[in-house]
Structures are given as C-alpha cells and as structure tokens.
Amino acid sequence: MLTIGIVGAGLRGRLFADALEDQTGVQVVGFAEKSPGVAADAATATGLPVVPGIDDLLTDHDPDAIIVATPDFAHRGAAVAAATAGKHLLIEKPLATNLDDAYAIADAVEAGGARCLVGFENRWNPHVVRAHDLVASGDLGSPITSSATLSNSYFVPTQMLSWAAASSPAWFLMPHTLDMLMWLTGSTPVTVSAVGSSGVLAARGIDTTDVVHALVTFADGSTANLTSAWVLPDAGEGIVDFRFSFIGTEGSIAADLSHQGLTVVSDKLRSEWPLGASIGRSKVGPPRWMVQQFAAGLLDGGEIGPGVRHGLEVTKTICAIEEAMADGSSVAVAEMTPAGAEL
Amino acid sequence: MLTIGIVGAGLRGRLFADALEDQTGVQVVGFAEKSPGVAADAATATGLPVVPGIDDLLTDHDPDAIIVATPDFAHRGAAVAAATAGKHLLIEKPLATNLDDAYAIADAVEAGGARCLVGFENRWNPHVVRAHDLVASGDLGSPITSSATLSNSYFVPTQMLSWAAASSPAWFLMPHTLDMLMWLTGSTPVTVSAVGSSGVLAARGIDTTDVVHALVTFADGSTANLTSAWVLPDAGEGIVDFRFSFIGTEGSIAADLSHQGLTVVSDKLRSEWPLGASIGRSKVGPPRWMVQQFAAGLLDGGEIGPGVRHGLEVTKTICAIEEAMADGSSVAVAEMTPAGAEL
Amino acid sequence: MLTIGIVGAGLRGRLFADALEDQTGVQVVGFAEKSPGVAADAATATGLPVVPGIDDLLTDHDPDAIIVATPDFAHRGAAVAAATAGKHLLIEKPLATNLDDAYAIADAVEAGGARCLVGFENRWNPHVVRAHDLVASGDLGSPITSSATLSNSYFVPTQMLSWAAASSPAWFLMPHTLDMLMWLTGSTPVTVSAVGSSGVLAARGIDTTDVVHALVTFADGSTANLTSAWVLPDAGEGIVDFRFSFIGTEGSIAADLSHQGLTVVSDKLRSEWPLGASIGRSKVGPPRWMVQQFAAGLLDGGEIGPGVRHGLEVTKTICAIEEAMADGSSVAVAEMTPAGAEL
Amino acid sequence: MLTIGIVGAGLRGRLFADALEDQTGVQVVGFAEKSPGVAADAATATGLPVVPGIDDLLTDHDPDAIIVATPDFAHRGAAVAAATAGKHLLIEKPLATNLDDAYAIADAVEAGGARCLVGFENRWNPHVVRAHDLVASGDLGSPITSSATLSNSYFVPTQMLSWAAASSPAWFLMPHTLDMLMWLTGSTPVTVSAVGSSGVLAARGIDTTDVVHALVTFADGSTANLTSAWVLPDAGEGIVDFRFSFIGTEGSIAADLSHQGLTVVSDKLRSEWPLGASIGRSKVGPPRWMVQQFAAGLLDGGEIGPGVRHGLEVTKTICAIEEAMADGSSVAVAEMTPAGAEL
C-alpha cells in the first residue's frame, strides 16, 4: 500500500485525492492545509484527516509520498521538508516563482534521494499527447517553429485565484506552454525576448501584468512564440483559451483546445471541453491521469514524468522572460542563477 | 477473479483484451475465433489461448463472462450459447441485424438470468457523455428535436470490413446514433420514414446501400433526423464523420467529433481525434472504458450499461427504417415483430 | 435609365433601394407601402415618394420594373398587377405560400411577357456560389446526397417578423435550401416525406410549427435531408444557423455559414458573418448583388436568375412537405396542383 | 473618363485590369511589362497595348493614374517616374523593401502632388473590415494586445514567386498584418524585437528566411505578436494561413480566414475562401474592391485609402524587424532612416 499526503486542500489538492480514491494499492492519508475554513471543508467532504502543516502531516502519517498543491509561490516550504524527509514528491507547476526557491527545492530533492514529478499535466492532455507522439514518430520532420497561446478570462485572476497578484500570466500559464514546447521539440530554451503590459488588472485591484508575449530560441535552432493573457472577456467561450501549432520540415500540427467540437447554448454560448472528471466509472482528464501515473510509478518503479531538473529549467526560462520584458533586451536563459550562486 | 472469454479475435476483440489487460481482478482467458489466420495472429500477439468456437471457449475455460465481438450479423450463435450457459454478456452493437436473431438473443439472455450489456460505446464517448449530462441536468429544457450524422469514408466498407455487403450504413452506423438520441432524450422511437440510395458501392462490388436518411418521431413528441453514408471521399479528414445537435426548450448543443481541435498535415491534411488508445499508463477511449466498466460492474454489482431490451429496441427501429426506405411509407416501430410472433 | 418601383418599404424593400442607389443607369422611383408608419419612415430616410399600393405606384411612376418585397404570403396582389401591366418583376421568395397564389402569379407573369426573377438570394451567396461552381465543374462527380439546415433563433419569429404566424420554418426558410439544392444538383424534387412539431412557439403566442425535417428524392436519383427550426436559443451565435453538405461520386463539400472565421466577444460571444452591407464604396452581400444583377440584366438583356417556373416548383415542393408532415406519408410533388386544376 | 496604366502584367496587374473592366468612367489604357513572354500573354488575353517600360506607358498613353504591380523590391523606378510626372499612384505593398527606395518614392509622390494609395488590400477584406468597424465602434474598449499570423505554404516561395529569394516572409507577408494592426489599433509601432530562422528554404535553393516572429510595442502602450512563415506543408488547407486576434478592455475578436466555413474534398481536402473573383456580374474580393475604390475616388475626390507616408511607416517597421532578428536586440522604429539621412 502506497500512502500519500497532500499539502493544500484547495481545488487541486481535492482533485488529486478524488483521482486516487479508487486506485488499487494507493491510500491518501490526509491533507495539510493552513486555512481553517478550507481545512474544515475538506475534512467534511472527504472524511480524511486534515492537519495544519507539512510537519504535522509527516509526523502524524509518515506517508510514502507528498503532493504539493499550494499556490504558485508557496511550494518551497513543503517541498523542501518532504524532500529532506526522503518522501517522493509531486509538486505542482511552476516548481517555484523565483530562482532561490527553485534551486533550494531541486537541491533538497536531489539530496533526499526520492523521486519527484513536477506537475506539468499537459503531458497527460490528449491533444498534447497526440501532438507529441506525432512529432516523436518523425513523420513531421524536425522542428522549424512553434506557437502557443494559453490565456484566461478575467475570472481566473479576479475570482478563482485569491493570490493572483503574487503570480502573473507568465508564472501561472507559461509553465504549461514552455513545458509543452520543450517536450514536443525535445529541446531547451536558449534565449528569450518578451513584451507585455499591465494596467487593466491593476485598475481592478490585481497588481500584475495583463499580457505577456515571448519569443524563444531553442538549442536545436528552432524558435517559438508564446502568448499568455489574463484579460480575456468573461463573456467568451470559457475561462481558458489554449491553442498551439508546430511546423516541422515534413509536416505541421494545429491544435485548438478551446474548440473541441462541443458547443452548448443555455444562458450563454460556450465551447465545452468534452473530457470532464469521469467517464462511467473511470476518473479521467489530465491531472487525474497524471497523479494516477505518479502513484502507479511509485508502486512499481515505472515512469512518473518530468522531474525537478526540468521544472528548474522552466522556472529559469520564465525568470528570463520576466527580465526580458522589463529590459526590452534579449536574455540568455543560462544566465539565470540565484544571487550569490557560482555560475 | 472475474474470467472473461472473447468471441471474435479481430480488431474489436483484441481491443477489448487490451483494455482489460491491467484491470485488477479481471482475467481474459482466451478467444474463440473461427478464422485460422486471425486466430494465429491473436495467439501470437496476445499469448492467450484461441479456440475455434464458443462451445470450445465455454468447455475449456468456463469463463464468468463472454464478449461477443463477431460481425454485425453473426451475434446470435455465440450470444445464445453463452446466455444459455448463464454467462454474463457484452454483445457488440447492433444486437442483431434481423428480428428473429434479436428476439432469440433477448429471450436467451432473459432465460439465462445473467447480466448483459449491448456495446453502445458512445455512452462512454466524452462528447456524448457531456451532452447527456447537460440534457439530464434540465438546463436545456425538454427535447424539441435532434439531428445526428454518422458516416464513413469508402475505406470502411471497401477495405476495413470484409463483410460490408452483409451490413449497411443503417446497420453499422445508425445503432450508434439511435442509441445516443434515445439516451439523450430518454425517449423511444415511435415511427420512422426514410430515403436512401445505392449504386455507387454496388459498382465497387459491395452490394449495399450508399446512404440512408431517416426521420424519427419519439414517444415524447420530439423528432429526429439521422443520416449515415458509406460514400465519403477517402481524401477527407478521416474515416468517420460524426456530428449531432440537440435543441431543447431552454438551450441547445452542437457537437462535431470530426473537429476536435487537432489538425495534422503530413502527407495529407487530417483532423485527428485526440483521444487515442492510452494516456500515460491509462487505457482510454470509449470502447476501453465500456469494457472496463462492464468488468468492474460484474465484479461489484455496479451499473454496466444498456441491456438486451434496449438493444432489441434499436434493432427494431432499424428494421423499421429499412422497411420505410423500401416502401416510401412511414413505419411504426411497434409493428416490427418476428414473422410468426404473436403481436 | 431603368426605373424601378418597390412594393414594401420594410427591411428588404429599403435594402434593395440602398443597393441600387449608386448603380449607373438605374433609378428607384418610389415605394408602395400600406403601413402609414413604415411609409413615413421610408419617405424620411430615403427622400423617395411612398404611395399606398401597387396601383398608385404603377399609375404615378410607370416604372419599368417592380420589386415585390411584401411578407411571404402577400405577393399575389402586387405581383399579378405588375405582371399584368407588363412590368419586369423581382419577387421575394417564396413565390407564394399556397398553390392558388403561385399558379396565379406564374400565369400572370407568362401572360404579361416581361422578365421575372424570384429572389433566391443564395445564388449570390459566396459559399453557395463556390459550391455550385465546384459541382458544376464536374470535379465532385455526380450527386449522391445532400443535407441542408437553415434555422433561426426565437428572435426571428417572435420579434423580427410581425407575421410569423402566417408563415413557418418551412415557408420562410426552406425555399432557400430547396432552391440551393436544386441549383447544386441541377435536378428537381420528386417525392418528400416530413416530420415536425409545434407547441413551443405556440406557447409564446406564435401559432406555427417549431421545426420541420424533410427528406427529398430528386429526379436524378439523389436524396436530400432538410431541416429548418425557429426555436434556436437567442443566446447562441446569431439569428441564423445555415450549413449544408453535398456528397458526390468524386468528392464532397461541407459548408457552415454560421462559422465563417470571425468571432466577437463583447457583451456576449457571437460568430459574425464577415460580409456586411458595404466594403469601401461597394455595396455587397447576397441580396444587394442579386438586385444589382437584376437591374443590370434588364438594362442589357443579360442573365437575371431563377424565374417564375422555378419559384413555382419550390412552392409546390413546400406544399408537399406540409402535406407530408400532416399525413405521415410520402407525397409526390407532381400531385401538388391547385384545387380544381386539371392535372 | 479616368485613364489608368498598369506597370507589371503578371498575376496582380492582370487582376487589376480585370477588376476595372466594367467600371463606369474608367479605362485601362495599357500595361508596361519588361518580360516579353508575360507581355505577349497579357496582350493576347486582354487585347490591351503592352509596352516595355513605365516611360513608354507615360509617353504613349499619358494616363491619369499608374498602378505599380511589379515585384516587392522593384517599385522604385516606376513609382518615382510616375509620381514625378504627376500621376496618381496605386503602389502594391510593401512600398519598398529598403529605406532608400521607400524614402525616394515618398519624396517623389509628395513632390509630384498627385494622390497615392499603397495597396494594403486587407482594408477591403471583409473579416478585417468588420473587425475594424467593431474596434472603431468602441464596443471592445481600447486595445490591450493583438496577434496576427500570415503564412504561406512552400508553393508561394518555391513556385508562385520567381523572385522569392529577393523577398522574405517579413517583406511579403508582414506588411499586411502590420498595416492591419495599425489600422485596428489606430496606433503606430515604436519598438520591435524578432527571432527567426532559415535553412529549410535555402536547402531548396531559395535563399531567404523560413519564418519570422516579431513582437511590437505600439505608441498607445499596446503590444502585438506577429508571425509569418513560408514553410507550411503544401498538403495543408491552402496556400495561405491567415488568422488574427484582438483583445480590448471591453471585448475581443478572433479571426481565422483559413476557416471560412467552406471545406471541399476532391483529390485532397482543402478549406476554401468562399469569396472568389466574381459573384454574378459583380467583380469582388479585396484587391478588386481596392482598385475600384481607387478609381472611383480619383473620379470624384472620395477617399482612396492608406497613402505613401503610411506605406513608409510599414517599411520602416519591417526594416526594424529584420535588424532585430539579426541582432537579437530590441530596435526602435524611429531609428530607421536611410544611410546618410538627417535624423
């Protein structure tokens, strides 16, 4: 029996618990959640123990693995504690939102010696999986260039996330698209340039950027173009606009997850993502499949997905994007190292 | 441990075996397959025993359940034998392609007393599930009318199916759309009218209809419009064109499974269905989820899906469509009874 | 100088006047409009004379041509008077909503000897024109089957048309799709069957059918499937849902005019038809191009479009659809003759 | 009668002649074409005089206006000669492909005193017109950010254009999208950064870039993201991929001209642009409407469209993009001045 503790009993923590509920050989032993209200809700809804912090979770339940499902900027504490205790880890993306945290987590994971998955859930997203398999097959030749847009309507920064001002479209959304393009191309970012703007969300009291566009050159010579905005109108098709394209020397892919062939009109028109939380008795969808594979891989030693070094690379690239946006210059990803670190 | 035998080791039988491979508590004990070539392939590929017929399968392995994955018109023998032996059954759609067979199977299943699922796999198809859930929620009001198109390119009748001339667009495709509309509306067909034509496939040596259009009135007063063709050009987006719409008194749905937001160009342009056979370690997609739920439901008594009486109703409706197409008249589904049966 | 009078100063009459405004050699001499309010509006907006009826228009202005832009059911009076006076005619579709009117108009036009265009404007609709040219090129082979949906949201019967109860989805919408399929296939309807329902619009005080589905067999052996509804939700993409498909022996067409690649979100999400009323200085769009060609053809003897016998055939087919829907039987179009007519 | 001479009797020159053929008050007096083969074809097909160069055209016919429809890089000679002779000008986009030429043309036009339209035909493209009207209405608020992709399949650089190596995706395609975004936002580019790559076309013998991505900041504080590639697979939907989006503070637009709702399958699948060259008797489409408005505006003094200073601004921006792509730095558009010019 694999025992798992979950840090963060919000939307995502609860989703992971649900996904693991019926998995053979797996037991979620409890949550750590510092908000009393969220903790009480989770306890009532799941019947699982909820303790205040990671230390309680480790002390009380000594689980085999820890899932870190706290806000973007709040991964370090739980991740380092769990890693140091030798626990396997699933850490939500981004690994961290600054270089100090990211390196600290990576170092702790490597010192602790256990396994670590950074939660780039699009590796379990059917459109992305299919695109990856096509590129990997060689049928599309080698990469020339890619584009990816992943944006949200105002709902996400103004209503869904209480901590939006401590994140940004770059930190909340681009980890997904950067990871995806790194997976598709099998290459890594070398330089970035970026532009963006702020003011619209700030006027609504959320002090963060409205939109960021980034250009990326990859080690294989290919290029990419990424856009993420948090200012899509709420009257649109949904809260997520996700599309990407890939051009290879022998073929191309265009994906638009905002239009998956299911349109519903009731009070308003919306394009639905057909894949909900369950189909019959199967619990489905990218984050559920991700955590199920994490648990299965821990049980039998199989593949669990992208690790902490990859998560570190994504965080470094977004740090470079933020710097490029501020400076108007092109920034080398390799220069992104913590203050005081030896290069 | 639930043991399952599969009759038919073709495309579908093999797919079901694959889907059950890692399911806890389930064991596929072997195939029955009368074609020596297909049998040899299946034995090599799966390592499972392959016997010639249903009787051998019952005698040799005495499985708890039988999956009937033979051609459309060839369900009766295996289904009646297994039902009579008290085995649980998953029978591929359509239940049968004539009333005699359909009633014989239904009677045997009910006499045998075991459980039976007729394989209307679209009940595990994400677009259909989501549409069903929306209609069932009441948000779209009560049904006014629906339309459904499910067609194939020439590839299916001319290359994929060796027995296309013994089936038709009505028998091979409309069970899916009829079942879906019955599920969406929660109602049953009362009368049908139909037109169609043949000649194009016949000129290619496949003596069956090219296209059939059917109008259906339902018991709840709503109407539907169904189209199935086997003459789509092979240069198109794929081998399946599947779309449907539903109009309720408070809202509507439009679904187009041929455009799920993933387009690939290599040697030709094609719209891909993003959901392949597996995502990470999970075996996914409508038929896999269906057979997994069948097995899980047999293990713990849970819901397994639409039964033999529903399959019979669909077969009766298609018999009525075939008669309406031949006669040019409107035909009552209730009149569809086997020759010699008491009404 | 070609002089034109317009009967009906509503939406469509005004649109025609606008479309002809800058055409060299053409002069709109005035409107006939029986509603004093509509007449006053038109006089103010256009500066053109507005008289109460067709007789005044003929007497006062003696135009070379008359455009009949009255409601669906109210074409006979103006059309017969103008035809009898030897005037060229553009009569809006449908030619008439009953056989008596349709035959009376056709007879008057043929007795009068002038030219007549029935306003099937989709012959100037870019998607339809392109589809027609492709079929006519022979590249798609000969017709096997077609489908066409043309529906409106509640707005049209409940707000846009004051006379919706005197028309229906069959009379208001199917003339477009029937004409289109006759043009695409170059063939004519032989038999029809139909189902439909009413009750939802009736509950809103509009006593007409909600939806009609019709199956059509054509003289060339091909079939078609037509749907028109007046009960689409108003929260949808627009007031018109228009799509059609054609399958030929060598290729196929799928058209969806509701999704022409332009989506706008402001207060709500809507798919826009990109072609508005004008582009730069050109007055564009199907009805404008139609009436411009009508005038140009009268000036120089060129082609003006589908004539009164074609309009009569469409009206007969819709009469047959209405009868089929009422009877549940298949109806031969050829049997549609006015009461008392010799067959 | 307005007389017009056309320099360049290739695809575009012939198209303009065709578009003007029936326009009242307009006469195309002849072509200048230096290629004897192209000249002979044009003479045969149109019956119009074809002379070798702009000087012959001016001498022989002394037209009121000149249309410059030569390759991207070959506008200067004809444009300066015609401008100097005081002729009105329609110059194809881009105004020029280097700053020297662009300034020389702009200076000559302003010295000559006649009117000048630079052929940014998307101002007559229905999707763009509609988008512009929506933004201009204020309903979408003020601009936050935009994206535009305009790319071609290999066919364009390798087969359609004999002079592709002397142009690039930036020069051939981005004038359209830059002009469009300047028109939509009503603002002008301030800085650009860009990445791109080459090698794939070079390997096919066309020594130019394969793809360019550019980020632009505008004077109003908004940003934009532009992509143009010449390496789309030829098996795709057509030779042009054109899509754009706009996010304003109160709403958004998404346009995809590659999917205008018309799909055809014959030998291959393709998405067609429904608007062909003519509808009935009307000659339609962006370049035809543009040249018709040019002629009409010259006749009556009406608006003709974007002038030479705007064309110069677009050329400067693309020069900045080329420099940014080479340098990896952000480049100020205002710094783009001809060598030796006073700043």
Q: Please write the tens of the pLDDT for every residue from A1-39.
A: 999 999 999 999 999 999 999 899 999 999 999 999 999
Across chain B, what does the average pLDDT equal?
A: 96
C-alpha dist (Å) from residue D172 to C38, D189, D209, D324: 51, 18, 11, 18
Q: How many helices (H) and strands (E) does chain D have?
A: 12, 17
Report chain A residues whose CB lies below 8 A from the CB of D233: 250-252
Half-sphere CA count of C27, side-chain side, radius 13 A: 11
D157 at A interface, C-beta within 8 A: no
CATH 3.30.360.10 fits B123-272, yes or no: yes
Asked casually if ipTM beats, i.e. exceeds, 0.90, the reply is: yes
Q: Which residues of chain B does CATH 3.30.360.10 include?
A: 123-272
Look at B126 and A289 and tell me if their CB atoms are within 8 Å: no
- Supply the mean pLDDT for chain C: 96
Q: Two tokens at A315? A: 């965080």
Intervals of CATH 3.40.50.720 along chain D: 2-120+284-307
**Chain A residues lying within 8 Å of D224, measured CB to CB:** 213
Contact across the interface for D195 and A210, Cβ inside 8 Å: no
Separation of alpha carbons C135 and D146, rounded Å: 39
Of A236, A266, A267, the CB nearest to C265: A236
**Set of chain B residues whose Cβ sits within 8 Å of the Cβ of C235:** 251
Q: How far is CA A104 from CA A7, A66, A80, in A?
A: 18, 17, 7
Query: Rounded to whole angstroms, how far apart are CA atoms C300 and B228?
Result: 47
Local confidence band at C309 (pLDDT 50, 70, 90 cut-offs): very high
**D243: helix, coil or strand?**
strand
Pair D117, D294: CB distance under 8 Å? yes
pLDDT of residue A13: 98
- For residue D201, pLDDT beyond 70: yes
C256 touches chain A (CB under 8 A): no
Contact A223 D330 (CB under 8 A): no
Residue B121: predicted pLDDT:
98
> Using alpha carbons only, what angle is made at residue B253 by residues B251 and B259, rounded to the nearest 5 degrees?
155
- Check residue C329 and give its pLDDT: 84
Q: What is the pLDDT of residues B275-310, one digit of tens each?
A: 999 999 999 999 999 999 999 999 999 999 999 999
The whole-number pLDDT of residue D238 equals 87
**A307 vs chain C: nearest CA distance in angstroms?**
39
Helix axes D76-84, D99-112, angle to 10 degrees: 20
- Supply the CATH classification number for the domain D2-120+284-307: 3.40.50.720
- Interchain contact, B233 vs D270, CB within 8 Å: no
CATH 3.40.50.720 domain range(s) in chain A: 2-121+284-306
Q: Note the pTM of the prediction, 2 decimals.
A: 0.96
User: How does DSSP assign A97-151, residue by residue?
Assistant: SSHHHHHHHHHHHHHH---EEEE-GGGG-HHHHHHHHHHHTTTT-SEEEEEEEEE
Q: How far is A224 from chain B (nearest CA, A)?
A: 18
Mean pLDDT in residue range C245-272: 95
Residue D77 has pLDDT above 70, yes or no: yes
Residue D126 has pLDDT above 90, yes or no: yes
Phi/psi at D240 (nearest 5 deg)? -125, 130
Radius of gyration of chain C from its Cα atoms, rounded to whole angstroms? 20
Q: Does A267 touch chain C (CB under 8 A)?
A: yes
B97/B105 Cα distance (integer angstroms): 12
* Range(s) of chain C covered by CATH 3.30.360.10: 123-273
Highest mean pLDDT among A70-74, C274-278, D180-184 belongs to D180-184
- Is B215 within 8 Å of C227 when comparing Cβ atoms? no
Beta strands in B16-64, from DSSP E residues, in sequence order = 26-32, 50-51
Mean pLDDT, residues D156-183: 97
pLDDT at B339 over 90: no
CA distance B81 to B54: 7
**Are the Cβ atoms of B279 and A251 closer than 8 angstroms?**
no
- For residue B153, the chain D residue with the least C-alpha distance is D265
Query: With 60 as the cut, is the pLDDT of residue B343 above it?
Result: no
Interface test with B, best of A260, A271, A284 (most B CBs within 10 A): A260
Nearest one of D150, D145, D120 to D135, comparing CA atoms: D145
| Residue D280: per-residue pLDDT | 92
Q: Over pLDDT 70: what percentage of chain A?
A: 99
Does residue B342 have a pLDDT over 60?
no
CATH class, A123-273 region: alpha beta
- pLDDT at position B340 is 60
Say yes or no for a CB contact (<8 Å) between B197 and C222: yes
Q: What is the pLDDT of residues B5-36, one digit of tens each?
A: 999 999 999 999 999 998 999 999 999 999 99
Q: Token match 């042009």: residue?
A: D240
Chain D positions touching C148 (Cβ under 8 A) are none
Residue C249, chain B, CB below 8 Å: the answer is yes
**Is the CB of residue B237 less than 8 Å away from at least one CB of chain D?**
yes
Q: What is the pLDDT of residue C340?
A: 60
Q: How far is A250 from chain B (nearest CA, A)?
A: 6
pLDDT for residue B341:
57
8 Å CB contact between B92 and B74 = no
> What CA–CA distance (Å, rounded) separates A149 from A254?
12
Subunits in contact with chain A (3 or more CB pairs closer than 8 Å): B, C, D
SS3 B209: strand
Best of D134, D225, D257 to disrupt the A interface (most A CBs within 10 Å) is D225
Say which residues have a Cβ less than 8 Å from residue D242's Cβ, sequence separation at least 6: D149, D150, D151, D256, D257, D258
B residues 282..321 contacting A (CB < 8 A): 282, 284, 289-290, 292-293, 296-297, 302, 305
Quote the tokens at residue C253: 């067409």
Q: Which positions 48-67 of D are in contact with A (Cβ < 8 Å)? A: none
Given an 8 Å threshold on Cβ–Cβ distance, is B236 in contact with D269? Answer: yes
Q: What is the pLDDT of residue C306?
A: 98
- Looking at the structure, give the CATH architecture of the domain made up of residues C2-121+284-306: 3-Layer(aba) Sandwich (3.40)
Does A275 have pLDDT greater than 60?
A: yes
Q: Is residue A260 predicted with pLDDT exceeding 60?
A: yes
CA distance D258 to chain A (A): 12
CA angle in degrees (0–180, nearest 5) for B266-A222-D259? 45
Q: Hey, of C122, C125, C150, C266, which one would you mutate to test binding to chain D, going by the most D CBs within 10 A of its CB? A: C266
Residue C219: predicted pLDDT: 98
Q: Which residues of B touch D236 (CB under 8 A)?
A: 265, 269
Averaged pLDDT score across all residues of chain A: 96
| Chain A residues touching residue D144 (CB < 8 angstroms) | 197, 200, 210-211, 229, 231
SS3 A12: helix
Non-local CB neighbours of D209 within 8 Å, separated by 6+ positions: D168, D169, D170, D196, D197, D198, D201, D230, D325
The CA distance from D262 to the nearest CA of chain B, in Å, is 13
